[in-house]
Amino acid sequence: MFNAILEHGLLLNRAQILDLGCGRGLLESWLRAALLCYENGDWPDGWPPAPRPHRTRGIELMSRDVRRAHAALGSACAISQGDIRNAAYGSADAIVILDVLHYLCAQEQLEVLIRARAALPLRGLLLIRIGDASAGLRFRYSQWVDKLVMLCRGHAPAILHCRSAAQWRALLSACGFEVQATAMSEGTRFANVLLIARAI
């Protein structure tokens, strides 16, 4: 997923990035590492340049993950503890929500998407990775792995609120986005899809 974001230049020229449900700050770590590789000439042929955001912010529910992000990324890191259902988003050029929305109920998902749209300018980017509930066994496998990982990370057992990729696209359209979908499960047993949405 992180490779695909770089390979397709999805976050290129996005000065302000907001990562909702950012966990331990993997996206920001990845972006920092990518920029170092790019500047050292250690970069795959044919890929666009590494993104050079002015600021990457993150909001994460679990304090332990926020502490880990700060320990790894240092004092310049703008990851704060909060609940994306009510935390202020401010404004951003790109909002990223990777493997998070299914922890929220349907109404909360809708509210987060409406607030994300309000935080973005016209043509602002929203990247969402979801599990495609219409993908049969691969989807069920993804769900089991997800539940197991979240239990291991200290979350209470959760009911997951999933939709098919088509339903996610319809919801995003209703919230003011135009959407492209890219399968993200190549070579794996998962049913992940990256939705690339632009504010219209």
Ligand X SMILES: C[S@@+](CC[C@H](N)C(=O)[O-])C[C@H]1O[C@@H](n2cnc3c(N)ncnc32)[C@H](O)[C@@H]1O
Residues that bind ligand X (CB under 6 A): 21-23, 26, 59-62, 65, 83-85, 98-100, 103
Tokens encoding 126: 């929203």
Looking at the Cβ atoms of 107 and 173, the one nearer to ligand X is 107
Q: How far is the CB of 41 from ligand X (least distance, A)?
A: 28
Alpha carbons within 13 A on the beta-carbon side of 9: 7
> Residue 126, exposed/middle/buried by CB under 10 A (0-12, 13-18, 19+)?
buried
Looking at the Cβ atoms of 1 and 37, the one nearer to ligand X is 1
Q: How far is the CB of 26 from ligand X (least distance, A)?
A: 4
How far are the Cα atoms of 10, 38, 45, 103, 162 from residue 42, in angstroms, in the given order?
Answer: 19, 6, 9, 37, 39
Task: For the beta carbon of residue 121, count every other beta carbon within 10 angstroms.
Answer: 11
Q: How far is the CB of 61 from ligand X (least distance, A)?
A: 3
Looking at the Cβ atoms of 62 and 72, the one nearer to ligand X is 62
Looking at the Cβ atoms of 93 and 99, the one nearer to ligand X is 99
Nearest to 12 by CA among 115, 112, 116, 127: 127
Q: How far is the CB of 173 from ligand X (least distance, A)?
A: 23
